[in-house]
């Protein structure tokens, strides 16, 4: 039997590597990086190889489950939808739309079926109670980008192919493979930058894998980034290093900004961020003087009390040093499909708004249509009008991924009804009444909707399914449309494909008016995500405009190129990209200037004895890949890294368990001495703690690790973005 060769974009992390799979007798025999992929050129990490294990994992759900008398039993799709129809609509009828909440998790960003159709369910449900992993992750960056550039996904990324000075804060792409920056083989690209004389500078409380390859690394007091960045901005003004260059005529707020940063001279912030004033001033000078430079901040700068300020200041530095939107600086990709910043009239727009409603219990403002994930438990627990009584989770495991998961787990048990769209019976879905499984990634088509908007180079790549989906199994977009039909009263028997066709015709009419019928006709042979993708590509910035641009892109062209289509290096996009009402870059949004007062009041905060931060390992992925043999083997990765000096002071022994506690909650983790750690900081990965009863994760449960989030606070957030504080949280350590 001969092998067949297939190509698939890896859906596991933001690097979006192109993979080459060999299949024999219906089984995957090998997975490698696809050398001819125009974007990732053969790169992959061990998780890509683990797609085989994921596909074959006996614990991965293949049929719907319904809970009967406390036990899950296998059910048909019809039975599962009938159960949902029996139980969910009555709750909405009795208590209103807000009585149902949705929780959306990270894999949704990697699945076109989920990302494209999620909003159909959200709209049908009409609830204000929408929660997602975004408020455990990147909402601060989305908010700051929205305020500055006018859209939530207009996020600048380093143009690493041409950059000569990269200042990186709170990111470890050697382990994470990049985030809000799609950059497969960051290491190779950084090495190339160094080889041409460029420099990488890393700011992190741990000397990470990335810091270890950098030209300079500085420890920072966790949560101190806002102060460091303010010190740099102040220095630029103080030493007359501000150069706006080409963007001067498109930038507002320079004078207000200069006035607002006056309290934050390098000398004033040094202690608070733990970096000497001379080092800060030197960093500002290097950044200003480098011809091609970029500042990039990621998770560590978002998951803290000043996440939005820090995210904003990263781009303020890019603007003030003349590096934004310039080759080799921080640039905006131009995606081939689905990007809002390529749609509508260029150069000006409605901008963004937040706080259009507020969470019922804590009064947290809505941001990008969502409420903070850390508000979910209290919204379930607290009686009154709008109390959450039903929940739909979509690829979301907040019992492990969100602070104080134990409280959330108790709250989930109080729900009247819960549905989970997921591929595992895990820490969260065990609370559901019905679980609706998704397909294996190898059974699904794919096109990345979000990540081309964040990519190091412009491209368009499509993956066809490697295997046919098992007979009768639903695509996730169909499941979402069925759920939408149920809550809209169209009934469980509604035909998802029929609804999809109606939606398509209606959207085309709204977007393209008189041209719509021609588009509907031209795409008639396609269904589901393929059809929307065809529309998006052809009407997108590289598209053939349905025949009006002879050389333009179509879906057929993208499908016919197994390694994808290269659309060139990043190019300048300002002013065309801007969607602010002023048509300018807003350097000094009032809400951010006001929040600076909170930072100023916090300048003298004393140093806690020990604080905890997170970390990522290349063989792990958030909370759900610990059940795959190829990743689970090797040393235990859920260990607490402690600086040996701290360890000795606290009486901790290398390899022995320590009790880590905070406010009456505690966990026990194995200590690993490490001089990578800044004194006063302990590092523990998140997403572990697979020892809870009632799950079906045989391998993960054998080596469960402990849950970092069991310690963290569900009520500590960045007030502007609602993002959880997951880093720099004070804890006590003692021998267990």
Ligand X SMILES: Nc1nc2c(c(=O)[nH]1)N[C@H]1C(S)=C(S)[C@@H](COP(=O)(O)OP(=O)(O)OC[C@H]3O[C@@H](n4cnc5c(=O)[nH]c(N)nc54)[C@H](O)[C@@H]3O)O[C@H]1N2
How far is Cα 699 from Cα 690, in angstroms, rounded to an integer? 10
Q: Does 107 interact with ligand SF4 (rule: CB under 6 A)?
A: no
Q: How far is the CB of 416 from ligand X (least distance, A)?
A: 22
Q: How far is the CB of 207 from ligand SF4 (least distance, A)?
A: 22
Q: Does 473 interact with ligand X (rule: CB under 6 A)?
A: no
Q: Does 728 interact with ligand X (rule: CB under 6 A)?
A: yes
Binding residues for ligand X restricted to 561-620, rule: CB under 6 A: 613-618, 620
The stretch near ligand X (CB under 6 A) out of 77-85, 319-327, 332-340, 683-691 is: 683-691
For ligand X, the closer of residues 341 and 622 by Cβ is 622
Binding residues for ligand X restricted to 3-22, rule: CB under 6 A: 13-14
How far is Cα 704 from Cα 710, in angstroms, rounded to an integer? 14
Task: Measure CA 200 to chain center.
Answer: 24
Q: How far is the CB of 20 from ligand SF4 (least distance, A)?
A: 12
Give the DSSP letter string of 119-182. HHHHHHHT-S-EEEGGGGTTHHHHHHHHHHHSSTT---EE-TTT-SEEEEES--HHHH--SSSB
Q: Does 208 interact with ligand X (rule: CB under 6 A)?
A: yes
Distance (Å) of CA 326 to CA 332, 333, 728: 10, 12, 34
The DSSP code for 469 is P
Q: Binding string to ligand X for residues 110 to 129, with x set by CB under 6 A, is what? A: -x------------------
For ligand X, the closer of residues 102 and 567 by Cβ is 102
Structure tokens at 87: 């139980």
Q: How far is the CB of 639 from ligand X (least distance, A)?
A: 14
Give Cβ neighbours of residue 522 (< 8 Å, ≥ 6 apart).
546
Binding residues for ligand SF4 restricted to 15-74, rule: CB under 6 A: 15-17, 44-45, 47-48
Strands 18-24 and 27-33: antiparallel
The DSSP code for 349 is -
The stretch near ligand SF4 (CB under 6 A) out of 13-21, 419-427, 476-484, 671-679 is: 13-21
Total residues found in the chain within this entry: 736
Q: Which residue is nearest to ligand SF4 (CB)?
A: 48
Kindly tell me which residue out of 66, 88, 101, 136 binds ligand X, with binding defined by CB under 6 A: 136
Kindly tell me which residue out of 107, 140, 184, 529 binds ligand SF4, with binding defined by CB under 6 A: 184
Q: Which of 162, 179, 169 is nearest to 283 (CA)?
A: 169
Q: Does 177 interact with ligand SF4 (rule: CB under 6 A)?
A: yes
Q: Does 223 interact with ligand X (rule: CB under 6 A)?
A: yes
Q: How far is the CB of 53 from ligand SF4 (least distance, A)?
A: 13
The stretch near ligand SF4 (CB under 6 A) out of 6-14, 142-150, 280-288, 336-344 is: 6-14
How far is Cα 233 from Cα 236, in angstroms, rounded to an integer? 5
Do 623 and 658 touch, CB atoms closer than 8 A? no
Q: In what order do the strands lie in the sheet with 216-218?
A: 216-218, 199-203, 165-169, 293-297
Residue for token digits 């003030």?
A: 320
For ligand X, the closer of residues 341 and 707 by Cβ is 707
Kindly tell me which residue out of 6, 206, 218, 538 binds ligand X, with binding defined by CB under 6 A: 206
For ligand SF4, the closer of residues 37 and 379 by Cβ is 37
Q: How far is the CB of 223 from ligand X (least distance, A)?
A: 5
Dihedrals φ, ψ of 588, to 5°? -135, 65
How far is Cα 641 from Cα 665, in angstroms, rounded to an integer? 20
Q: Which residues contribute to the site for Mo ion (CB under 5 A)?
A: 137
Distance (Å) of CA 299 to CA 128, 141, 347: 26, 9, 29
Our CA angle for 211, 215, 221, nearest 5°, is 45
Q: How far is the CB of 395 from ligand SF4 (least distance, A)?
A: 16
Q: Does 10 interact with ligand SF4 (rule: CB under 6 A)?
A: yes
Do 91 and 390 touch, CB atoms closer than 8 A? yes
Binding residues for ligand X restricted to 435-464, rule: CB under 6 A: 438
Q: Binding string to ligand X for residues 618 to 637, with x set by CB under 6 A, is what? A: x-xxxxx-------------
Binding residues for ligand SF4 restricted to 399-428, rule: CB under 6 A: none
How far is Cα 719 from Cα 736, in angstroms, rounded to an integer? 35
Give the DSSP letter string of 104-129. E-GGGGG-HHHHHHHHHHHHHHT-S-
Partner residues linked to 71 by β-bridges = 68
Is the N-terminal amide bond of 409 cis, ω within 30° of 0?
no
For ligand X, the closer of residues 258 and 709 by Cβ is 709
Do 86 and 68 touch, CB atoms closer than 8 A? no
Q: How far is the CB of 608 from ligand X (least distance, A)?
A: 13
Q: How many residues bind ligand SF4 (CB under 6 A)?
A: 12
Our CA angle for 720, 722, 728, nearest 5°, is 95
Residue 253 binds which entry of ligand SF4, ligand X, Mo ion, none, with Cβ cut-offs from 5 to 8 Å by kind? none
Residue 203 binds which entry of ligand X, ligand SF4, Mo ion, none, with Cβ cut-offs from 5 to 8 Å by kind? ligand X
Kindly tell me which residue out of 98, 185, 204, 714 binds ligand X, with binding defined by CB under 6 A: 204
Distance (Å) of CA 247 to CA 251, 252, 254, 291, 317: 6, 10, 12, 16, 13
Q: How far is the CB of 727 from ligand X (least distance, A)?
A: 4
Q: Does 106 interact with ligand X (rule: CB under 6 A)?
A: yes
Kindly tell me which residue out of 64, 146, 222, 322 binds ligand X, with binding defined by CB under 6 A: 222
For ligand X, the closer of residues 13 and 21 by Cβ is 13
The stretch near ligand SF4 (CB under 6 A) out of 7-15, 236-244, 320-328, 693-701 is: 7-15
Q: Does 441 interact with ligand SF4 (rule: CB under 6 A)?
A: no
The stretch near ligand X (CB under 6 A) out of 80-88, 423-431, 508-516, 568-576 is: 423-431
Give the DSSP letter string of 264-312. G-HHHHHHHHTS-HHHHHHHHHHHHH-SSEEEEE-HHHHSSTTHHHHHH
Residues that bind ligand SF4 (CB under 6 A): 10, 12-13, 15-17, 44-45, 47-48, 177, 184
> Which positions touch ligand X (CB under 6 A)?
13-14, 105-107, 111, 133, 136-137, 169-173, 175-177, 179, 203-206, 208, 220, 222-223, 225, 298-301, 304, 394-398, 401, 421-424, 426, 428, 438, 613-618, 620-624, 683, 686-687, 708-709, 712, 726-728
């Amino acid at each position: 039997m001969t092998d067949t060769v297939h190509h698939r974009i890896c859906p596991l992390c933001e690097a979006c590597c192109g993979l080459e799979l060999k299949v024999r007798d219906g089984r995957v025999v090998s997975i490698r990086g696809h050398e001819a992929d125009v974007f990732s050129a053969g790169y992959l990490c061990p998780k890509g190889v683990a797609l085989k294990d994921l596909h074959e994992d006996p614990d991965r759900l293949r049929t719907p489950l319904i809970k009967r008398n406390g036990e899950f039993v296998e059910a048909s799709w019809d039975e599962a939808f009938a159960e949902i129809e029996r139980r969910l609509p009555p709750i909405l009828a009795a208590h209103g739309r807000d009585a149902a909440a949705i929780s959306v998790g990270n894999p949704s960003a990697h699945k076109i079926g989920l990302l494209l159709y999620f909003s159909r369910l959200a709209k049908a449900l009409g609830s204000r109670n929408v929660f997602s992993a975004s408020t455990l992750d990147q909402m601060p960056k989305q908010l700051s980008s929205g305020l500055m550039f006018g859209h939530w996904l207009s996020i600048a990324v380093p143009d690493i192919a041409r950059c000569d000075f990269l200042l990186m804060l709170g990111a470890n792409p050697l382990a994470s493979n990049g985030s809000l920056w799609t950059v497969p083989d960051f290491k190779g690209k950084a090495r190339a930058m160094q080889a041409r004389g460029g420099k990488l500078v890393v700011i992190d409380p741990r000397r990470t894998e990335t810091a270890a390859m950098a030209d300079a690394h500085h420890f920072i007091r966790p949560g101190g980034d806002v102060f460091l960045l303010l010190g740099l901005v102040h220095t630029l003004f103080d030493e007359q290093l501000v150069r706006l260059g080409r963007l001067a005529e498109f930038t507002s707020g320079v004078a207000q900004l200069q006035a607002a940063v006056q309290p934050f001279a390098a000398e004033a912030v040094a202690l608070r961020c733990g970096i000497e004033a001379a080092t800060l001033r030197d960093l500002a000078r290097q950044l200003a003087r480098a011809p091609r430079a970029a500042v990039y901040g990621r998770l560590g700068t978002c998951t803290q009390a000043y996440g939005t300020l820090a995210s904003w200041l990263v781009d303020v530095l890019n603007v003030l040093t003349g590096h934004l939107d310039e080759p080799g600086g921080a640039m905006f990709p131009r995606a081939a499909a689905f990007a809002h910043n390529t749609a509508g009239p260029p150069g000006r727009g409605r901008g963004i708004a937040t706080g259009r409603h507020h969470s019922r219990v804590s009064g947290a403002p809505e941001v990008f249509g969502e409420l903070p994930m850390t508000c979910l438990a209290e919204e379930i627990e607290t009686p009154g009008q709008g109390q959450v009584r039903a929940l739909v989770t979509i690829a979301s495991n907040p019992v492990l991924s969100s602070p104080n998961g134990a409280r959330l787990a108790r709250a989930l048990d109080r729900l009247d009804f819960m549905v989970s769209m997921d591929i595992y019976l895990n820490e969260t879905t065990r609370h559901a009444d019905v679980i609706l499984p998704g397909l294996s990634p190898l059974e699904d088509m794919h096109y990345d909707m979000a990540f081309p908007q964040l990519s190091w180079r412009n491209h368009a790549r499509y993956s066809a399914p490697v295997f046919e989906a098992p007979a009768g199994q639903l695509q996730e977009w169909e499941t979402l449309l069925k759920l939408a039909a149920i809550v809209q009263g169209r009934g469980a028997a509604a035909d998802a494909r029929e609804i999809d066709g109606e939606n398509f015709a209606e959207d085309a009419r709204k977007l393209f008016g008189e041209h719509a019928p021609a588009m509907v006709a031209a795409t008639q042979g396609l269904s589901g995500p393929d059809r929307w993708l065809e529309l998006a590509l052809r009407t997108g910035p590289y598209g053939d405009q349905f025949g009006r641009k002879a050389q333009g892109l179509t879906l057929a062209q993208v499908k016919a190129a197994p390694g994808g289509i290269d659309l060139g290096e990043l190019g300048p996009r300002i002013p065309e990209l801007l969607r602010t009402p002023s048509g300018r870059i807003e350097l000094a949004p009032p809400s951010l200037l006001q929040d600076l007062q909170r930072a100023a009041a916090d300048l003298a905060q004393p140093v806690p004895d020990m604080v905890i931060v997170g970390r990522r390992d290349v063989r792990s992925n958030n909370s759900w890949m610990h059940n795959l043999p190829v990743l689970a083997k090797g040393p235990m990765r859920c260990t607490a890294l402690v600086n040996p000096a701290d360890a000795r002071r606290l009486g901790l022994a290398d390899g022995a368990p320590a009790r880590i506690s905070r406010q009456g909650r505690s966990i026990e983790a194995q200590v690993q001495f490490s001089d990578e750690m800044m004194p006063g900081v302990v590092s523990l990965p998140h997403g572990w703690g697979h020892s809870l009863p009632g799950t079906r994760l045989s391998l993960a449960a054998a080596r469960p690790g402990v849950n970092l989030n069991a310690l963290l606070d569900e009520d500590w957030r960045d007030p502007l973005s609602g993002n959880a504080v997951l880093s720099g949280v004070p804890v006590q350590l003692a021998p267990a």
